[in-house]
Structure 1
Amino acid sequence: MDTVIVIGGSKGIGKSIVEQLLINHKVINISRSIPQITHDNLTQYTCDVTINELPNIEHADKLVYCPGSINLKPLSRLDIDDFKKDFEINVLGAVKSIKKYLTILKQSNMPSIVLFSSVATKLGMPFHASIAVAKSGVEGLVKSLGAELAPNVRINAIAPTVTDTELASKLLRNDKMTENITDRHPLKKILSPKEVADMALFLLSHKAASISGQTIKMDSGIVSFKI
């Protein structure tokens, strides 16, 4: 039974990933808040990756870094600290986690890492400057480390469109806004956390053994199609 470290598995996509992994994996969740999940296969550490030292772990086969931000403001209302905070959460937290656990991951048979980007890196949208900069950093990290760590460690990212989570609650705060956002997607749907978790589990698994250095768009067609 593989052991998976999940950073930020208490809410949203991270929580869905933890729930699905627990069926046949041991999960070490590291998050600021405690997930409302109890399971014999779950070990919990309470930690803010941006300010606290990460716990020492003796063995792990895979790593998922879930923390992210949706900081949507016009440039005139974004200050340098906004850019720094988004970069710290999305990029530096991932770097810190990978550096901390890379040695033990390399001792596993087929180690894999999954990070998270955003469709905002491919689709220019107003008010997304800070998050687009940060998530572009995630994609650059994946591409570079994919080459550096081959053939021993695979690393990929998922770039979801709007997903029905607490993080996106301001975008989906009423039925009209949800309808408008849904209608802008060619597939006429936004994502559920489980859909994204399914992709994360695939990328972690041996079924994705030939995939590394990639950012997988889950965009409901909004980046890929013009209809």
Structure 2
Amino acid sequence: MKNIVIIGCGQGIGFAAAKLLSGGNHVIGISRSHNSEVETLNIEFHELDILNGNLDEITFPEIVDGLVYAPGSINLKPFNRLSVDDFKNDFEINVLGAVKTIQKLLPNLKKSESASIVLFSSVAAKLGMPFHASISASKSAVEGLTKSLAAELSAQKIRVNAIAPSLTDTNLASQLLSTPEKREASGKRHPLQRVGNPEEIAKMTEFLLSPNSSWITGQIIGIDGGMGSVKL
């Protein structure tokens, strides 16, 4: 049984990952908010805002085998309507929260024989997409963090990878998918003609935490319906 910490387990991709990984693992889930289903999962749940809360209040296992940092943001505006605070907030949620968590748990991860860290980027960090300046900037920083840490932590046999989804059917994206017409239009922008679902991303998360991915580190893995690589 592995000890896996999931930040942002309250909904969306983090919740799907917690649900999938709770069978056969000890999952410590942390989220500032959560849906009612979280309470039905076989996980150790803590309600905590990762940016403002104190991780020292949680007693983590001495050995942590996997860390998933799943919080995110969708802040789509024309560049001239994005404030400096918008950029700061996205950077704090996507980057500094991950930094804070990794620094806290690094001693525990070093004690594992095969630790794995999974972060989340976005297809918007690879493609130039209008109205994505703030989110693209912060997710690009996540990709740089992923590769740098993969190099630095390889001597401790800690693997670090990032998943870069495109639009996924989560609460975070609910406004973009609020009508059948919006959902259809969003799907058609992808070569595979649909948006993603959290379970698909969770399965890649599970793979990256498992021994089956033991020779994979420093990678940005696109799960994006082909958007990041295929031109129609």
Q: Same fold (TM over 0.5)?
A: yes
Taking the TM superposition and a 5 Å limit, the aligned residue runs for 1:1-227 are 1-35=1-35, 36-38=37-39, 41-54=42-55, 55-59=58-62, 60-151=64-155, 152-227=157-232
Q: Give the Cα separation in 2 of the matches to 1:153 and 1:183.
A: 38
Q: Find the aligned partners of 2:117 and 2:68 in 1 and give their Cα distance.
A: 6
Question: SS state of the match for residue 177, structure 2?
Answer: coil
Query: Is the 1:34–1:44 Cα contact (8 Å) retained in structure 2?
Result: no
Q: TM-score, normalised by structure 2?
A: 0.95
Instruction: List structure 1 runs of 4+ shifted beyond 2 angstroms.
Output: 34-41
Q: Is the 8 A contact 2:118 2:209 kept in 1?
A: yes
- 1:194 shift after superposition: 0.2
Give SS of 2:38's match.
coil
Deviations, residues 77-119 of structure 1 (Å, cap 9, x unaligned): 1010000000000000000000000100110110000000000
User: Relative to 1, partners in 2 of residues 1:133 and 1:40: Cα closer, same or farther, differing over 3 Å?
Assistant: closer
The letter for the 2-side match of 1:22 is S
Letter in 2 for 1:76: N
Structure 1 CA distance, aligned partners of 2:179 and 2:41?
Answer: 38
Q: Which secondary structure does the structure 2 equivalent of 1:157 belong to?
A: strand
Structure 1 residue 24: Cα displacement = 1.1
Q: Describe the SS at the equivalent of 1:81.
A: helix
Letter in 2 for 1:53: N
Unaligned runs of 5+ in 1: none
What is the identity, as a one-letter code, of the residue corresponding to 2:91? Answer: F
Describe the SS at the equivalent of 1:167: helix
Tell me the secondary structure at the aligned position of residue 89 of structure 2: helix
Cα distance in 2 between the residues matched to 1:137 and 1:157: 11
Match for 1:122: what amino acid? K
- RMSD of aligned residue pairs (Cα, Å): 1.2
TM-score between both structures, scaled by the size of structure 1: 0.97
Give the drift of 1:41. 4.1
Across the two proteins, how many residue pairs are aligned to each other? 227
Query: How far 1:39 sits from its partner (Å)?
Result: 5.6
Question: How many percent of aligned residue pairs carry the same amino acid?
Answer: 52
Conserved in 2, the CA contact under 8 Å of 1:116 and 1:157? yes
Q: Could you tell me how far apart the structure 1 residues matched to 2:223 and 2:89 are? A: 25
SS of structure 2 residue aligned to 1:171: helix
- Mark the CA change 1:181 to 1:34 in structure 2 (over 3 Å): closer, same or farther: closer
